[in-house]
Amino acid sequence: MAKLFNVAWIGTGVMGGAMAGHLVAAGHRVCVHTRTKARAQRVLDHGAGWADSPAAAAEGTDVAFAMVGTPEEVEAVHRGPSGILSAKNPPRIVVDMSTSSPELAVLIDLEARARGGRGCDAPVTGGDIGARQATLSIMVGADEDSFAEILPLLSVMGKTVVRHGGPGQGQRAKLVNQVLIASTMVGMCEGLALASAAGLDAQRLLESVSTGAAGSWALANLAPRVLRGDLEPGFMVEHFVKDLGLALDLARRLNLDLPGLARAQTLYTQLIRDGHGRRGTQALTLAYAPRATEHRFV
Amino acid sequence: MAKLFNVAWIGTGVMGGAMAGHLVAAGHRVCVHTRTKARAQRVLDHGAGWADSPAAAAEGTDVAFAMVGTPEEVEAVHRGPSGILSAKNPPRIVVDMSTSSPELAVLIDLEARARGGRGCDAPVTGGDIGARQATLSIMVGADEDSFAEILPLLSVMGKTVVRHGGPGQGQRAKLVNQVLIASTMVGMCEGLALASAAGLDAQRLLESVSTGAAGSWALANLAPRVLRGDLEPGFMVEHFVKDLGLALDLARRLNLDLPGLARAQTLYTQLIRDGHGRRGTQALTLAYAPRATEHRFV
């Protein structure tokens, strides 16, 4: 029988709730905290305990996970006055699974070490479906010993778990993932816009191009949503813009000019200004054909 | 038994030679012409006939195919003084399978009609491997009757054969395909550059990201070549730049601003200026990390 852990879980949104649920189902003792208690109800019903703050949830646990929205929230739940690291007996390992700043991940590790623990970053891809089905890809930044210790827990939540180096490297790997997506989305939306303007039938076009050198996950999964006018979020524009900003920060620190990424960030930021921040990333199509689709989406 | 045709084939390069070979193998009577006769030797050995000009090859045939390099060559082999359309008894249908200008396709159809024939465009994706294995995706611009007539011939060369509308629409569909590829390549090369600069192991990175939302044909097929320093052409930079120029022309005629495409065209054009025009499209990586890879590629 696998070792059972005392675990804290901070952040039970759409993804975090499902991921914490897998830990409960695997027999671990899980204590959760989230900003709005009602959003934790499902995982509480499954047998998790409740705490009134991140610090209280983390008190005396083996591992504390966080799955929150922004680097500011990551900072608050770890370093804030009632954050995980302010627990009297802090967890041996803190694992941030949010997509956040690599530098912040390093800082959290340093502060965890100062209290006798370790910090790891373990952001994910695979979205709400991957979280529910435990098929996430998890990109880990951790020292080797910590990775070995948390691997059984991560394996309950994801299908592909890879260590990319020490603290911060999980976040950097995740940011590369977002860079790959950004320009692919630009290509997809420009291609669909050109097809539409040229009078091509987009369904037939996808038949011709989807399985060849132009093929991508985005073309297979998001282009059909664009064609049927479905801009509901699989992944939200405002979260994507946050990630692209982190990727641009990273590139700048490395003296790397990434013009495709910069252009994608500009286009997506404009989408937020136009009021589409809470739509899915496929809403980038509105940057190219706002009038053609207006009656369907606005 | 399927109807057998008298066919002319102009252009027996890497792809055209293999495609003409499939027609010979299917039992059709094929007469070829190409600029350098030695490059036709293989298909001549398989049983094709030889003619000294496009006009001579096309004389009295049912269908004349062209598979050449640039719109200028397309124009010359169709409309030149010894071009296909100057045959005494021109073919009933001329089919240009090169990637070329949609407007030129319309013009060739008009001139073919003036001589009692029809023009079709049928550019392809799938590269030299697709040509050899007859797994090409063929995008056809043709009237319905001509399409019905040439479909058995195209089906010998490709797996996916789709009519996208009248003359010119095959070319427009192909240009959309190139738009999709262009920004995906930018994303791939920027992602790999960021990974390298951030000290990530690129093989492990691909393990984490290839099957998720960042996945693409390019990432699965070209990223591994970049990582092992293989910039040999599957598809050449200088041909890609020609195609991107045609796509930008099309977008401009349609008053469509495609900034991702424009940026890709700029980056690829710079590659030609730097002497990499005859490398594969994955050589775009040199735009981001010239020094890191210099010792391997130059």
- Cβ pair A214:B260 closer than 8 A: no
Determine the pLDDT at residue B2.
77
Closest residue on chain B to A218 (Cα): B213
- Cβ pair B180:A165 closer than 8 A: no
Determine the pLDDT at residue B295.
37
Of A160, A181, A198, which has the smallest distance from its Cβ to B207's Cβ? A160
Closest residue on chain A to B159 (Cα): A208
| Active-site amino acid positions of A | 174
Query: Is B3 designated active site?
Result: no
Residue A183 has pLDDT above 50, yes or no: yes
Confidence of residue A296 (pLDDT cuts 50, 70, 90): very low
The answer to whether A268 and A244 have CB atoms below 8 angstroms apart is: yes
- Cβ pair A207:B160 closer than 8 A: yes
Query: What is the CATH code for A172-292?
Result: 1.10.1040.10
Domain boundaries, chain A: 6-166, 172-292
Determine the pLDDT at residue A289.
76
Q: Can you tell me the mean pLDDT for B238-248? A: 97
Residue B135 has pLDDT above 70, yes or no: yes
Same fold, A6-166 and A172-292: no
Q: What is the ipTM of this complex?
A: 0.95
Of A164, A199, A208, which has the smallest distance from its Cβ to B200's Cβ? A164
| Cβ within 8 Å of B, A 13-52 | none
Residue B259 contacts A where some CB pair is shorter than 8 Å: yes
- Cβ pair B198:A263 closer than 8 A: no
Determine the pLDDT at residue B293.
44
Of A137, A184, A254, which has the smallest distance from its Cβ to B197's Cβ? A254
Determine the pLDDT at residue B298.
30
Report the gap between the CA of B149 and the closest CA in chain A (Å).
20
Q: Report if pTM > 0.90.
A: yes
Q: Can you tell me the mean pLDDT for B252-264? A: 97
pLDDT tens digits along B183-197: 999 999 999 999 999
**Least confident stretch, A4-8, A36-40, A213-217, A293-297:** A293-297
Confidence of residue A1 (pLDDT cuts 50, 70, 90): low
- Name every chain A residue with its beta carbon within 8 A of the beta carbon of B180: 187-188, 191, 209, 214, 216, 219
Closest CA relative to residue B174, chosen from B239, B83, B221: B239
Q: Can you tell me the mean pLDDT for A15-39? A: 97
- Cβ pair B216:A180 closer than 8 A: yes
Confidence of residue A2 (pLDDT cuts 50, 70, 90): confident
Residue B57 has pLDDT above 50, yes or no: yes
**What are the angstrom distances between the C-alpha of A216 and each of A136, A196, A224, B221, B236?**
18, 19, 12, 12, 21
Confidence of residue B1 (pLDDT cuts 50, 70, 90): low
Torsion of CA B214, B220, B224, B230, to 10 degrees: -120
Q: Which is more confident, A296 or A187? A: A187
Q: And the tokens for B217?
A: 């044909």
pLDDT tens digits along B145-197: 999 999 999 999 999 999 999 999 999 999 999 999 999 999 999 999 999 99
Q: Can you tell me the mean pLDDT for A34-38? A: 97
Q: What is the spatial distance between Cα A12 and Cα B145, in angstroms, rounded to a whole number?
A: 60
| Cβ within 8 Å of A, B 179-198 | 179-184, 186-188, 190-191, 193-195, 197-198
pLDDT tens digits along A50-91: 999 999 999 999 999 999 999 999 999 999 999 999 999 999
Of A125, A197, A250, which has the smallest distance from its Cβ to B198's Cβ? A250
- Domain A6-166, second-level architecture: 3-Layer(aba) Sandwich (3.40)
Residue B89 has pLDDT above 80, yes or no: yes
Query: What is the pLDDT of chain A when averaged over all its residues?
Result: 95
